[in-house]
Chains A and B, each alone.
Chain A
Amino acid sequence: MGERAWIRGAQRGSVSDLEALFREHWPRAYRAAFLVVHDAAAAEDIAQEAFLAAVRALDRFDRRRPFGPWLHRIAVNRAIDWARASKLRAELQQHDVPAPEQADPDERMLPALASLDPDQRAVIVLRYLLEYTPGEIAELLDLPRGTVNSRLRRGLDRLKERLE
């Protein structure tokens, strides 16, 4: 049973179809939000709000359009807003935390990501976690494609520096 059928079922009131959509998409929306904001509670709120927006708009959702990009657009844009606001409030102090020496590669990735600007984190997450093309990212974030490419390039360069 595919995504369109789940959406159709959910539109008709099927809880199991809504749950199937949730199982399919919530983990990635949550992970994407977390990797942008670096705060589990905020990521939970963001992913939840994105799904609530989906529930509110369910009856009007065009089944011909894929559900994932629509949800990810809400989640990642809100995550960027949150991260920017958090940065302004100086609550996110992880930028200058050095990666621990001899750390497991998995443990080094998170602080390395934290060293990026929220906008760079978002394009990295969209490109490499959610596997959108630069053109699709440009559309999701309402950015020129060149800006997406330069953010990706700068973000990757910075990650490489931090991970080496």
Chain B
Amino acid sequence: MSVLKETAQHVLDIALKAGATDAVAEAVEISVKQVRFSNSQIDAINAWTENNVILFVAVGKRVMSSDLRELDNLDALTEQVVSLAKRAPPSKTYGGIASGKFKYAKPKIDKRILSLDDPSKPVLEAIAGAEEEGAVNVGGTLFVRHSAAGIASSGGALAADENASLDLSVRAFSQPEASGHTLSCTPHLSDLKPRETGLRAGQLASRAKNPVQGEQGKFDLVIEPMCLTELINTTSNMMSAMLVEIGSSMYAKKIGKPVASKHVTFVDDPTIESMSRQTFDHEGVPTRRNVVIKDGVLKTYLHSTSTAKRFKTKTTANAGPLIPTPFTMATQPTAFHPVVIPGDWKVDEMISDVRRGLYINNAWYTRYQNYSTGEFSTIPRDAILKIENGEIVGAAKNVRVSDNMLNLWKSIDALSKNVEEIYWWDEASPPSTVPTVRIRQMNVTRSS
């Protein structure tokens, strides 16, 4: 048994002995190295390690969760959490934790990632690649991540997990207002392509040179995977049953109804090889591939055992962190690895069929007037290329997409054959595998 699994089992045993009726203990070890670079040189290299146990306990309907970080004092801390739970006000909507005889996939990692001794080398290669294509200023990050977890629950969960990955982000400028942004995200060292990532960022930056003021009106948009993943950040969040419950989702009351064009199939799949491959959810249920939108029709929300009970369905193994994290609510079911199933288009073909449009590399700052209706705007950034009569004819700047998110997904009419794994900062997240897509007749605005 792995050490973390043993730790989780030990904490579970203590919790049950102290009087918990349900408990989940997840022991986690995270080790990260980060190279930060800007102005074509390295600014700082940071490294951090975290060792903790996330503990959830219920005493009947009285629930309590905690993040235990004093590992040499786990027994006492666990007893204290159970004691607090006994005195806590009841949570009438608590629906229990998953139980059963669970079978888990065996995690495999690329151990060469752990021995990457000098993470500055790929960064310097990426900078050189971008400069080769005309970039004059290059910035970004390289993360080397390793995480391991062990989980044990009173419902029968007992498993270990491990993941290692690399994610390189390169933003290259050819002029002060002309940039390109590219990524290389992978669980395999051999698939990290620093030079190619730099070259492509440099190429995009060169194509974005001399941008002109963007125009307002209806435009067809061809958006790269990075831009699409920025939109998936909020879209996937609204698939969470808990967001539906509190009225913060455009998907409320839409199960079985069209929420995207028939070309769109949206899956949450933490079982595939990726940065966010995950063996079990935060209740210890083995993760699985969930088809959330099939041919444009909403099939399910993302559930934990508790939300599933309230919605009279079964968990989808998407139980999120049992403690609140920045910008998410505690107990919120969450997507782990969104996948948009690719189409059969080449990107050039997608562009050639556009009379008046924009090709968009990236976006950020997506905000909603109203999550329940989907009215939103987002800000394209990096290469924004003008398309006229099927050709790219120059670059634009200072535009905003101001539309409705349901309308956006319903207006997708082409998806590329090629997909990319994307993870950038907290914007294009969670890690997703998606194609380039074409969206017809989006409303584009700008400052007056």
- Whether A associates with B in a native complex is no
Q: Could you tell me which A residues sit within 8 Å of B by CB distance?
A: none
